[in-house]
Structure 1
């Protein structure tokens, strides 16, 4: 009889002698921090849902830059949360869409066969994932699993930034940098849904894309520096942070709101230096400098589902990869300049 094994990354491996009778799943897993080449395909024991959990048969999982940072362990500050020497949870990914396979004894709102989307901290680049029921909502009718998987983290970030932090109102002017990226493509659409006049900053190749998302004005950053046009905005959602904070503030109304939202920065602390700078400066100006961290909330997933159903928000899909090509997908995300979201179809 085989001996049960556990990987260094916390996943439960299935011994060869037990594979015939075990409920298993395929998953991408990493045993150490590093480049995408550290990912391996493994056969793992299929998890069972706890009392308040749902076992989801994952059909699609999307990626965002944070997944790349966690994979590499850089900036090093991420290791404080995800494991100092090696990843505490070896399966990458957070966002998913799929079908309920089983529910825990305390789950009443969902049942097997329901189509759902949401997020899981246990990793989603696998055939199955256990997810707290509060992290899932029903997939809007007619929305594909690939599109649904693209929504949770990036769209929630855009929603919370514009609604909760900036309190965007009809008629306000909103500028979004990185407008063709994951968060940016959602932000352009959500700002328009809130009645704002939207200026999108992107490269020349993405001008038509962001216009199709509803942008009223487009700035090609390869030709024009938006901080030097003399135009000022009520809200700036800066997903790129290519210019110094002082330069971006020149484009902000005297009482406007600037939301830095980027993981760029040094190898050790990443964006923390810019966050500290913004908070220190905010005490000496009427401008609101508001770096923030988004948190997954079921109510926000429901709000996004309404926007999706109404046709006010449509996910932009850059590329779709197979699970076996997860390393290539993470390599593409880590390189930057994605158009919308990268999704793994499982």
Structure 2
């Protein structure tokens, strides 16, 4: 089979399209013929080996997982004898980041707990765009943010992969949603149901008088003190993405602020699991959430897809279509 190989850490230039052995599923795995995959921030970390702390998980000198890619959508081609949830021919989607990665290829193996049935009303590309970003948004809002109906929720970085899902999940939870994005993405956020949209090129939301019950920081470089200022009493800030400085501030200063004030500052480390994937599946099937796809690339164009993604201006997700 054809697969993208990352032999060392570096820029997208290190990626190679190679012919490799098709994997064979164990008795607890399935073999999936991949129809689509997508790029997330975690893929960029795995590619570059940055921040350096990530190498303790991904390999110190070179990538532990030579075939990158976490999000997957495809068709079950073979099943191990202990697999009970799926059959050959099932259309599935999921996240391989907890079981070896490997979705930038024509085939991959995975335990059944990493996958769910693909909603019949969406395409393979739409399904592949959803798992990691959608579950991250769900866990950030529900688990860390304790979102409740009627709350005022702000999503900073609302037009990217996680952000577009977060806007929709927050709306489906009954919140009043404000999205922060650049000028060119305003219409996208309104189309996803955002009640208010702030153009960060014209207005700094941390300097206005509006306060929020929950802020999900998906992108941006505001210091943690600015987020704290924008929270209501008993408000919660959840750091999902942004600058390294912001991440370390949340990790180191967040617990102190949470203990000494009536505002909570927390950091999310997404954990893929089948239960949340099935919740996301229902949201997609019911039309409460949809995948926003910016660009599609072929398997032999993955390096170009990464170059575009690392510019940091994607509208929703970048998808890899695999025929």
- Within 5 Å, give how 1:321-340 maps onto structure 2: 321-340=297-316
1:231-250 superposed Cα distances (whole Å, 9 cap, x missing partner):
00000001113211101111
Distance (whole Å) between structure 2 residues aligned to residue 66 and residue 338 of structure 1? 15
Is the aligned partner of 1:55 residue 2:34?
no
Which TM-score applies when normalising by structure 1?
A: 0.90
Deviation, 1:290, is 1.4
Aligned position for 2:157 = 178
- Alignment: residue pair count: 319
RMSD: 1.1
Q: Is the 8 A contact 2:70 2:95 kept in 1?
A: yes
Aligned position for 1:298 = 274
Is the aligned partner of 1:272 residue 2:248?
yes
CA change 1:167–1:274 in 2 (3 A) is: closer
Is the aligned partner of 1:133 residue 2:112?
yes
Distance (whole Å) between structure 2 residues aligned to residue 76 and residue 102 of structure 1? 37
- Within 5 Å, give how 1:22-171 maps onto structure 2: 25-120=1-96, 121-171=100-150
Greater gyration radius = 1
- Within 5 Å, give how 1:201-212 maps onto structure 2: 201-212=180-191
1:156-198 superposed Cα distances (whole Å, 9 cap, x missing partner):
0000111111121111000001100000000000000000000
Counterpart among 246, 252, 274 of residue 231 in structure 2: 252
Is the aligned partner of 1:234 residue 2:210?
no
Distance (whole Å) between structure 1 residues aligned to residue 178 and residue 275 of structure 2? 28
Q: Is the 8 A contact 2:221 2:243 kept in 1?
A: no
Secondary structure of the residue that 2:260 maps to in structure 1? coil
Aligned position for 2:286 = 310
Which one is further off, 73-82 or 185-194? 73-82
Q: Is the 8 A contact 2:254 2:264 kept in 1?
A: no
Aligned position for 2:177 = 198
Aligned position for 1:224 = 203
Deviation, 1:273, is 4.4
Aligned position for 1:20 = none
Distance (whole Å) between structure 2 residues aligned to residue 241 and residue 276 of structure 1? 18
1:29-73 superposed Cα distances (whole Å, 9 cap, x missing partner):
011100000000111100011111111000000111110111011
Deviation, 1:272, is 3.3
Deviation, 1:277, is 1.9
Deviation, 1:263, is 5.0
Q: Is the 8 A contact 2:257 2:264 kept in 1?
A: no
Deviation, 1:274, is 3.5
Q: Which runs of 5+ in 2 are unaligned?
A: none
Which TM-score applies when normalising by structure 2?
A: 0.97
Q: Is the 8 A contact 1:119 1:131 kept in 2?
A: no
1:124-172 superposed Cα distances (whole Å, 9 cap, x missing partner):
1000000111111100112100000001100000001111111211110
Tell me which stretches of 4 or more aligned residues in structure 1 moved more than 2 Å.
270-274
Distance (whole Å) between structure 1 residues aligned to residue 215 and residue 70 of structure 2? 27
Which one is further off, 102-111 or 270-279? 270-279
Aligned position for 1:10 = none
Aligned position for 1:6 = none
Is the aligned partner of 1:288 residue 2:264?
yes
Secondary structure of the residue that 2:166 maps to in structure 1? helix
Q: Is the 8 A contact 2:238 2:265 kept in 1?
A: yes
Distance (whole Å) between structure 1 residues aligned to residue 76 and residue 256 of structure 2? 46
Secondary structure of the residue that 1:34 maps to in structure 2? coil
Which one is further off, 30-39 or 162-171? 162-171
Secondary structure of the residue that 1:45 maps to in structure 2? coil
